[in-house]
Amino acid sequence: MNIGIIGLGLIGGSLAKATRRFTTHQILVWNRTEATAKKALQENAADGILDAQADFAKLDLMLLALYPEATIDFVRSHLHELKPGTVIVDTCGTKTLVCHECQKLVASRPEITFIGGHPMAGIEQSGYDASRAELFVRASMLLVPPPEVPPEKLRLVQEFFLSLGFGAVKLTTAETHDRVIAYTSQLAHLVASAYIKSPTALKHPGFSAGSFRDMTRVAFLQESMWTELFLENQAFLLPELDHLLKNLNDFRNALTSKDKDMLLQLLRDGKERKTQVNNLPEEPYSPF
C-alpha cells in the first residue's frame, strides 16, 4: 500500500519508522515544517514527501497525526484529492469531535472511509527526534469505526496496525473512548502537572525514588496539545476531577481531625481498589 503520514511529531514519526521497519509499504509524509519531512526522507523513514494533489491521489491509507482541530481542517482541505477507496485514520487523543466532524466531511464522498483511532503509546518527549519504530510494540490501538464501515476496510486497518507491533486492536465508540480516557490519561497528566508545582519539588534530590518519578513523569507534556484535549473533553474530565478532589478532601479531613480510624479506612479502600484493578483481565501492555 501507499501510506500517507500527516504530521511527524512523536506519533507520526514513530508510525513512519515502524512502517519502515516492520512492513514493505511505501511511505509518503507531510509535515507543517518541511525540514522535518526532509529529515524523515534522509533517514529512510519515508520514501517521498506529499506536496501535490497528485501525491495525495496515490494514497491507499492516510494516517493523521495532528491535533484535533488541525486534523479536521486537513481532512476538509484534502478530501477532494483522495482517490476512491482511500481509508483515513486519525490518532487524536479525543474522539467525539474529530469523529463527528470528519464523518460529516466524508459523507460528501461515501467512497472514502474515515475511522477514528488512538494509539495507546507515548513517552514524555515530543517531536520527530523522539520518535522510535518500537514505540507501539505490545501497545493497544483503539479504533472508532462508523456503523456503516465496510468490513474489508476495517480489516485492512486492523491488520496494518497489528503489523506495526501493536498487541491488540480494540474497537470502541467515541463516547466510551472519551469517558475512559478522561480518567486513564487526561486526569493523570493533570494531576502530575499540579503535583510537580509544590515548592518542595525543587528539594527532591536525594529524597525521592520511584514514587516521585512515577507521579511526575507525564508532567513533562506538550502544553498546547493537552490544553486542546482537556478543553475538548471537558464534559468527561470535569467529573473525574471532581471525584478526585472529593477523595483528596476526605484525606484532608481525616488528617485535620487526626482521625486515625478514618485515615486507615481510606488507605484500606485505596489498597482494595488497587487489588481489584490488578485482578482485572489482562490487557495488552501500554507504555503510556
Q: What is the CATH number of the domain that holds 131?
A: 3.40.50.720
Residue 143 CA to residue 179 CA, distance in Å, equals 15
In percent, the amount of the chain with pLDDT more than 70 equals: 98
Residue ending a domain, choose from 172, 207, 229: 172
Residue 286 lies in a domain: no
Q: Is residue 288 part of a domain?
A: no
| 184 and 145 part of one domain | no
**206 Rama sector, left if φ>0, alpha if ψ -120 to 50, beta otherwise:** left
Q: How far apart are CA 283 and CA 142, in angstroms?
A: 12
**Domain tally for the chain?**
2
> Is 51 within the bounds of a domain?
yes
Q: Which domain does 269 fall in, by range?
A: 177-278
- Let me know if residue 109 belongs to a domain: yes
Phi-psi region of 10 (alpha: psi -120 to 50; beta: other; left: phi over 0): alpha
**Grid cell for residue 174:** 467515541
pLDDT at 10 over 70: yes
Pinpoint the alpha helices (H) of the chain.
Answer: 10-22, 34-42, 53-56, 68-78, 96-106, 151-163, 174-181, 187-195, 210-216, 223-232, 234-256, 260-278
Look at the block and give the residue holding cell 483522495. Answer: 82
163 in the same domain as 88: yes
Domain boundary among 155, 172, 189: 172
Which of residues 142, 172, 202 is at a domain's end? 172
Q: What rounded mean pLDDT belongs to the chain?
A: 95
Q: What pLDDT shows up at residue 49?
A: 96
**Is 204 buried (19+), middle (13-18) or exposed (0-12) by CB count in 10 A?**
middle
User: Does 283 fall in a domain?
Assistant: no
Q: Are residues 119 and 10 in the same domain?
A: yes
> For residue range 34-81, what is the model confidence (pLDDT) as tens digits?
999 999 999 999 999 999 888 999 999 999 999 999 999 999 999 999
Mean per-residue pLDDT, 258-281: 95
Q: How large is the average pLDDT for residues 143-167?
A: 97
The whole-model pTM stands at 0.91
